[in-house]
Amino acid sequence: MDIVERFLKYVSFCTTSDENTGMTPSTPGQMEFAQYLAEELKSIGLTEVSLDENGYIIATLPGNVERMNELTSERIPVIGFIAHMDTSPDASGKHVKASIVKAEERDYIDPRYKGQDVIVTDTTTLLGADDKAGIAEIVTAMEYLIQHPEIQHGKVRIGFTPDEEIGCGADHFDVKKFGADFAYTMDGGAIGELEFENFNAASAKIHVHGLNVHPGTAYHKMRNSMRIAYQIAVMLPRFQTPEHTQGYEGFYHLIGMNGTVEETTLSYIIRDHDRTQFEYRKRELEHLVNKINAEYGAGTAEIEIRDQYYNMREKIEPVMHIIDLAKSAIKSAGVTPVVKPIRGGTDGARLSFEGLPCPNIFAGGENFHSRYEYLPIPSLKAAMNVILEIVKI
């Protein structure tokens, strides 16, 4: 199947994840998509295809050579490629209406793609290139290798995960069963990007308890939890937010506020590349909650902080040859490598800490998590070619 046709089929599945269900996968559409993928992988000729009860898929492309060459006994490493099936809850992923246009037909598409065919939506939903582009690239590359047995390669493992967008993609990933020496997530953005540094990440929920009485008799009695929550929000540094930071700069990001006079919840994500600063940011939120309790009384505010993943750099640096390999493959695919830190995270970050070094390679899309997400077709094809070049090398 052509890679574009394959991608357009994939985005027809609604796989939006949901952190509030407490299930894995968190939404039924992800399992429906997983079942489709498992059957597709079998049909193109992959072996050892497994789909577990949590929606994780693992499959094998058997190697057709075992040693580096006739003069050495050095084993060819087992390489893995990983992508996630879910799409972000930040925008709807239901009833995606995708079409192919020239880049200059949409004013939100970067001018550098002028003249290229680009996959877009009608802007009522996201597209789902994050990360169905990655899945399409991996599957199409595996199909190509099966159809071209003259290309020599070692054993390749592929893995597709649920719920990456809510920080749970690696929760039930069996690194030992996967059995790769190292892997790459095909989950990056623009063409050429190669990433082995990412944010340290945590989520935080602050619950504020108020007291509601009739407003006519509220004097010195009412405690409006929404106003107290707002007080917490404005005590954080104004310019340490996503819209005011870049590069290695960390931030606090208020992603949700729900409340009444009686109860209000603030939902934050905390990000920083530097581990020391990351720990400081968590302590600062706890300090603000303590200040509120000192002012309004013990128990007025409560905080829950959950670490999500850490900066993979410390796990990649001892095996930098896998970055060199990716750079060579990107160049061989006719693309200029762009090594940069991820202002986000991938399954690879957590997997690196579980013993599977796993840097990130571009999938080609832009404006992820947005109704204005788009995917240049040359970028999609280039990412697939990078996979082929890695396997060949």
Same domain for 192 and 233, yes or no, is: no
Instruction: List, by residue number, the catalytic residues.
Output: 86, 164
Same domain for 231 and 378, yes or no, is: no
Same domain for 156 and 240, yes or no, is: no
Task: List the CATH number of the domain containing 360.
Answer: 3.40.630.10
Query: pTM for the complete prediction?
Result: 0.86
Indicate whether 301 pLDDT > 90. yes
Same domain for 17 and 151, yes or no, is: yes
Same domain for 152 and 19, yes or no, is: yes
Q: Which residues pair with 160 in a beta bridge?
A: 57, 83
Asked whether the beta carbons of 293 and 301 are under 8 A apart, the reply is yes
| Residue 135 identity (one-letter amino acid) | I
Asked whether the beta carbons of 65 and 166 are under 8 A apart, the reply is no
* Residue-wise pLDDT tens digits, 61-110: 999 987 766 556 678 999 999 999 999 999 999 999 999 999 999 999 99
Produce one character per residue of 243-262: b if its CB has 16 or more CB atoms within 10 Å, e if not: eebeeebbbbebeeeebebe
How much is the pLDDT for 69? 63
Instruction: Examine the fold and report which residue of 309, 327, 359 is the final residue of a domain before the chain moves on.
Output: 309
Which range marks the domain in which residue 247 is found? 203-309
The owner of tokens 């929920």 is: 205
Task: List the CATH number of the domain containing 209.
Answer: 3.30.70.360
How much is the pLDDT for 71? 54
Structurally, how many domains does the chain consist of?
2
Q: Which residues pair with 186 in a beta bridge?
A: 361
- Strand 263-272 and strand 251-259: the pairing is antiparallel
| Residue 328 identity (one-letter amino acid) | S
* Residue-wise pLDDT tens digits, 133-178: 999 999 999 999 999 999 999 999 999 999 999 989 999 999 999 9
Tokens linked to 244:
């005011």
Same domain for 71 and 213, yes or no, is: no
Instruction: Examine the fold and report which residue of 279, 309, 339 is the final residue of a domain before the chain moves on.
Output: 309
Same domain for 73 and 136, yes or no, is: yes
